[in-house]
Amino acid sequence: MDIPHQHYFVPVGVAVDAADTLVIRTGCRPRGARVGIAFTGPDRLVAAMGPRQQWTRLSESALREMLRPLGIDDIQVDPILVGPRITPASARLSRRERVPGGAVGEPASGDRATAMSG
């Protein structure tokens, strides 16, 4: 449900083919469902994604409008960890070497991320 006047801090990346275009990052839950990623404060975003992660402020309705064409209905608010890009080599790690409970995600830019919620 959209909360009137709710604004989130949304992680973004730079589009590969247009350096002046930002793209919102998305993720996937453990079972593969794609989700939008949003934070209620910049401190939470930094804690989950690191200080170098770019972000923008968006209303919930604007974020949902941007996610809709991607077929994404859910927003994961304040995930506790959003991990690095997943490569074919890291995908071959044994189950013991992976982050327990991690979920592989895919930002809109095509990069991959891992997200865990608390």
Give the global pTM: 0.67
* 21 compared with 100, residue with greater pLDDT: 21
Per-residue confidence (pLDDT) for residue 21, from 0 to 100: 85
SS3 57: strand
- pLDDT beyond 50 at 74: yes
Query: Which stretches of the chain are DSSP H helices?
Result: 42-49, 60-67, 88-91
Nearest to 78 by CA among 54, 42, 44: 44
Q: Confidence class of residue 88 from pLDDT cuts 50, 70 and 90?
A: low
Residue 40 is given by DSSP the state: S
pLDDT attached to residue 87: 52
φ, ψ (nearest 5 deg) of residue 67: -80, -30
Residues 59/7, Cβ–Cβ less than 8 Å: yes
